[in-house]
């Protein structure tokens, strides 16, 4: 007797154009592997507070939308209630604290992890006119912009990518800062006028990567999505997120970092940003770990442990260099 085929993979996503585009990419990859897929759009608290994913009329800073995990909690709730089998997250939005019963099951290949400037009055940060108005709602980006150009006027901007670009084109800003990955996934990479790379400008932890979250014991879903995992991306973001977790920083903390594999070594650089006495301060630490270049998917437990240990070592160095005061009120309290 032929065994019953598993049902379709029910994928949950936020309703923004970018979130749906990312989810459609995952769905297309799974269909290419021969799996049926159903997509459910779930409104998160962050979307609802800001006026909805397609109506973000209020420039509400993310920090005031509900804190860490504001864009993922409803998706996680739907997973735990068995309403969906898989949640697609922008990994930079996913808290490092684990949720009982859920697992970060798969990390597909990473898009460009860096930020970009989209300039209207000039193409680069250095070329912007004095007191130019730059739009961003990220503490991390604000601090780095101020470090590069103290004269810039940084103003809040929220909304989906199209909304931000329209406001830029309408003359409300001289430039805006966006994630390169979001523009690329929306086929808008040509709008970028400058790529902002370390160590001049550090990206968010996990930026450019997707995180596929599933129920821990759902073997059917875990097995079917496993081929989408990218070894190098997974190890890099595991190290980045381990550093963030060790610093007790949530998604909104001014911690930045970038991991990558080069010549069989996992390299990680992280940066903690802040202001003290009106002066912008940043502390950068880097580390590396030997990684088996012959390792194949899925990543072994040993590889994950090595990546986590690297992240914690870099965090320890940041602590020793004086990072704690810079985290300030953004530091998440961790139970002993």
Closest C-alpha among 231, 117, 124 to residue 177: 117
Element at 288 (helix H, strand E):
strand 279-290
- Active-site residue 93, yes or no? yes
User: Active site residue: 93, 174, 218, 230, which one?
Assistant: 93
Structure tokens at 79: 């997973």
Judge contact between 180 and 69, C-beta under 8 A.
no
Helix (H) or strand (E) holding 182: helix 180-185
Give the residue from 61, 41, 35, 40 showing the smallest Cα distance to 50. Answer: 61
DSSP H stretches of helix in 12-107? 17-32, 45-49, 73-80
Residue 281 has a CB neighbour count (10 Å cut-off) of 16
Strand runs labelled E in 180-278: 194-196, 210-215, 255-262, 265-276
- Report yes or no: 71 and 160 within 8 Å, Cβ to Cβ: no
Residues noted as catalytic: 93
């Amino acid at each position: 007797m032929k065994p019953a085929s598993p049902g379709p993979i029910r994928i949950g996503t936020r309703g923004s154009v970018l979130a749906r585009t990312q989810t459609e990419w995952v769905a297309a990859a799974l269909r290419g592997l021969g799996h049926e897929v159903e997509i459910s759009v779930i409104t998160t608290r962050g979307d609802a507070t800001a006026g909805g994913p397609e109506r973000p009329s209020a420039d509400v800073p993310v920090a005031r939308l509900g804190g860490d995990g504001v864009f993922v909690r409803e998706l996680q709730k739907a997973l735990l209630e068995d309403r969906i089998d898989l949640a697609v997250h922008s990994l930079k939005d996913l808290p490092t604290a684990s949720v009982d019963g859920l697992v970060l099951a798969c990390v597909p290949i990473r898009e460009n992890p860096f930020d970009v400037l989209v300039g209207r009055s000039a193409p680069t940060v250095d070329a912007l006119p004095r007191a130019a108005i730059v739009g961003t709602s990220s503490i991390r980006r604000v601090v780095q912009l101020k470090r590069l150009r103290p004269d810039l006027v940084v103003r809040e901007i929220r909304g989906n990518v199209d909304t931000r670009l329209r406001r830029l084109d309408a003359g409300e800003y001289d430039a805006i800062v966006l994630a390169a990955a979001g523009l690329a996934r929306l086929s808008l990479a040509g709008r970028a006028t400058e790529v902002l790379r370390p160590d001049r400008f550090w990206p968010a932890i996990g930026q450019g990567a997707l995180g596929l979250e599933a129920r821990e014991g759902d073997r059917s879903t875990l097995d079917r999505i496993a081929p989408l995992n990218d070894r190098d991306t997974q190890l890099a973001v595991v190290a980045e997120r381990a550093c963030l977790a060790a610093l007790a920083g949530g998604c909104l903390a001014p911690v930045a970092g970038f991991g990558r594999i080069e010549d069989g070594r996992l390299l990680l650089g992280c940066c903690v940003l802040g202001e003290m006495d009106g002066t912008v301060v940043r502390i950068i630490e880097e580390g590396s770990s030997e990684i088996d270049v012959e390792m194949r998917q899925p990543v072994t437990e040993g590889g994950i442990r090595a990546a986590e240990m690297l992240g914690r070592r870099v965090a320890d160095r940041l602590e020793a260099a004086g990072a704690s005061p810079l985290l300030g009120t953004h530091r998440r309290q961790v139970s002993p």
